[in-house]
């Protein structure tokens, strides 16, 4: 189990590092060393989006997500975004089951924030297109928690 957790954590860090590298390239900044990138991650929450291409609910959520300027601004400036299109076997990223769409917030200590959930008791981390205002509030909550807990 320990090896599995270590492997999952390593894969998550690789994904986050490549996502961060892409964000740095987009901004056309001077290259940063890995240590500076790691320090950056200590202060930025991770937003993990589980979805599937052939899922109509995922596509509907993706559309309103992409069209919402406030979400896009926060996603680009305040979060490391991780899009997972394949289901994970890591129970930390599926604490209440494997379903899509599923959006989870992970703090810089790589702890899934179980206190930031959607509106549905049967699928704690799902959001529907009409839940966008709720998702925005949860993004703001994740940012506030990071600032107050560090």
CA atoms of 42 and 112, how far apart (whole Å): 14
Percent of the chain exceeding pLDDT 70 equals 71
Number of domains in the chain: 1
In a domain? residue 94: yes
Regarding pTM above 0.75, the answer is no
In a domain? residue 67: yes
Residue 41, pLDDT above cutoff 60: no
DSSP string, 78-137: H-EEEEE-S----GGG-TT---SSEEEEE-TTS-B-TTS--S-SSSTT---GGGHHHHHH
**17-24, long-range: CB < 8 A, 24+ apart:** 19/80, 19/81, 19/82, 20/80, 23/76, 23/80
Give per-residue pLDDT as tens, 112-139: 999 999 999 999 999 999 999 999 999 9
In a domain? residue 99: yes
In a domain? residue 114: yes
In a domain? residue 20: no
In a domain? residue 150: no
Which CATH number characterizes residue 55's domain? Answer: 3.40.30.10
| Listed residue (134, 18, 125, 26) closest to 76, CA to CA | 26
Mean pLDDT, range 61-73, rounded to an integer: 97
Give per-residue pLDDT as tens, 68-100: 999 999 999 999 999 999 888 888 889 999 999
Residue 36, pLDDT above cutoff 60: no
Residue 144, pLDDT above cutoff 70: yes
Query: Alpha carbon 118 to chain centroid distance?
Result: 14
| Listed residue (101, 70, 86, 78) closest to 23, CA to CA | 78
In a domain? residue 3: no
Domain of residue 133 covers 34-143
Would you state the pLDDT for residue 14?
52
In a domain? residue 119: yes
Would you state the pLDDT for residue 146?
81
Task: Tell me the pLDDT band of 103, cut-offs 50, 70 and 90.
Answer: very high
């Amino acid at each position: 189990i320990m090896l599995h957790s270590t492997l999952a954590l390593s894969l998550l860090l690789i994904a986050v590092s490549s996502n961060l590298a892409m964000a740095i390239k987009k901004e056309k900044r001077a290259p940063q060393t890995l240590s500076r990138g790691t320090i950056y991650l200590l202060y930025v929450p991770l937003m993990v989006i589980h979805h599937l291409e052939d899922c109509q609910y995922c596509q509907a959520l993706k559309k309103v997500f992409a069209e919402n300027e406030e979400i896009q601004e926060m996603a680009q400036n305040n979060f490391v975004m991780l899009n997972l299109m394949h289901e994970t076997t890591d129970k930390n990223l599926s604490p209440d089951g494997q379903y899509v769409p599923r959006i989870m917030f992970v703090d810089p200590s790589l702890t899934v924030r179980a206190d930031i959930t959607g509106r549905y008791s049967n699928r704690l981390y799902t959001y529907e297109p009409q839940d966008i205002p709720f998702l925005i509030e949860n993004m703001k909550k994740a940012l506030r928690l990071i600032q107050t807990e560090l």
